[in-house]
Amino acid sequence: MRKKIVAGNWKMNMNLKEGLGFAASLVKYFNEKPSPGAEVIICTPFIHLAALPELLKNTELKSGAQNCASEASGAFTGEVSAAMIRSTGTQYVIIGHSERRTYYHENNALLNRKTRLALDNDLKVIFCCGEVKEEREAAIHHEVVKRQLEEGLFSLPAGELKNVVIAYEPVWAIGTGLTATPDQAQEMHSYIRSLTEEKYGKDIAAAMTILYGGSCKPSNAAEIFSKPDVDGGLIGGASLKLEDFAAIVEAV
Ligand code: PEP
């Protein structure tokens, strides 16, 4: 069976005290509940990462970064390398979020370098893909996602795919309140799985966890997650509220 995952993406929210306080409340909540049967990850700003592994130890929660540098080390002012992230005990990193692609002009070649560095440094990668509204309206969303995966991810050797999770996030649904319908999500997830199968074969495709992201909330999560190729979610806004995030984890 494929691993189910719910990953929260805090984006650029919460100072050190707020973030660690919120993480502590998640720990308390999940420790009082039976095991969720899914991996639960919180992807936080860099400032929280050094303290989180200690806070999350003896829990089922894992931590992740939201980005890493595209170079290994050296004179890159302001950057944080994959090795530095891993040195904190952090296990995951999000690569290719649409906000990075749009605001920081990160292209597929650059994201491929980041993915390579993350895996070389023993981080697991949540690799994001997804089309903008105009691309869906022009019915080129399949081509767009295919190119993002082929150029960003599919140069990896088969053995490394076990450390990769794909997140399909239609950009028109991120933070907008618009959600892909469960059928739209299923259709794209099944397409992504078929691309993975073409490239790596049936077993790797069947084992690949594919998350949906885009205005996922307690009221729509269960229906989206009920689709056979949707293995959980990457959650932005709703990951900042304990009750909402907990309800989404419950739904998976
Ligand atoms: C995201 O940032 O990955 C995301 C899905 O955001 P939201 O849930 O707020 O749409």
- What digits encode the pLDDT tens for the residues 73-98? 999 999 999 999 999 999 999 999 99
In the set 39, 99, 135, 169, the catalytic residue is 169
Ligand 1 midpoint to CA 194 (Å)? 25
Confidence band of 217 (pLDDT split at 50, 70, 90):
very high
What is the pTM assigned to this prediction? 0.97
For 128-180, how does the pLDDT look when each residue is reduced to its tens digit (9 = 90+)? 999 999 999 999 999 999 999 999 999 999 999 999 999 999 999 998 888 89
Q: Which residues contact 156 (CB under 8 A, 6 or more apart)?
A: 115, 116, 119, 164
* 15-58 pLDDT, tens digit each: 999 999 999 999 999 999 888 889 999 999 999 999 999 999 98
Name the residue with the closest Cα to ligand 1, atom 7: 236
Atom of ligand 1 nearest to the CA of 239: 8
Q: What's the pLDDT band for 205 if we cut at 50, 70, 90?
A: very high
**Active-site residue flag, 32:** no
Burial (CB count within 10 angstroms: exposed 0-12, middle 13-18, buried 19+), residue 34 = exposed
- Considering the domain boundaries, does residue 33 fall inside one? no
Report yes or no: 223 and 200 within 8 Å, Cβ to Cβ: no
Domain span at 212? 39-47+79-251
Query: Is the predicted pLDDT of residue 199 greater than 90, yes or no?
Result: yes
Query: Token pair of 83, please?
Result: 């090795």
Distance between CA atoms of 208 and 142, rounded to whole angstroms? 18
Ligand 1 centroid to residue 79 C-alpha, Å? 23
Q: How many domains does the chain have?
A: 1
User: Measured in angstroms, how far is the CA atom of residue 205 from the centroid of ligand 1?
Assistant: 25
Please give the mean pLDDT across all residues of the chain: 97
User: What CATH number does the domain containing 87 carry?
Assistant: 3.20.20.70
- Confidence at residue 7, expressed as pLDDT on a 0 to 100 scale: 98
**Would you say residue 9 lies in a domain?**
no
Of 39, 48, 97, 99, catalytic:
97
In a domain, 83, yes or no: yes
- Which ligand 1 atom is nearest residue 11's CA? 2
Q: Write the residue with the smallest CA distance to atom 4 of ligand 1.
A: 236
Q: Give a yes or no: residue 30 inside a domain.
A: no
Q: Give the per-residue pLDDT at 8.
A: 98
Statement: residue 118 has pLDDT above 90: yes
User: Averaged over 216-230, what is the pLDDT?
Assistant: 97
- Whether 113 maps to a domain, the answer reads yes
Residue 182 inside a domain? The answer is yes
| Residue 12 maps to a domain | no
**Mean pLDDT within 212-223:** 96
DSSP, residue by residue, 67-136: ---SSSSSS-TT---HHHHHHTT--EEEE--HHHHHHS---HHHHHHHHHHHHHTT-EEEEEE---HHHH
97 annotated active-site = yes
Q: What's the angle, vertex CA 13, arms to CA 7 and CA 14, rounded to 5?
A: 105
Q: Are 39 and 5 in contact (CB under 8 A)?
A: yes
pLDDT of res. 178: 86
What pLDDT is attached to residue 34?
85
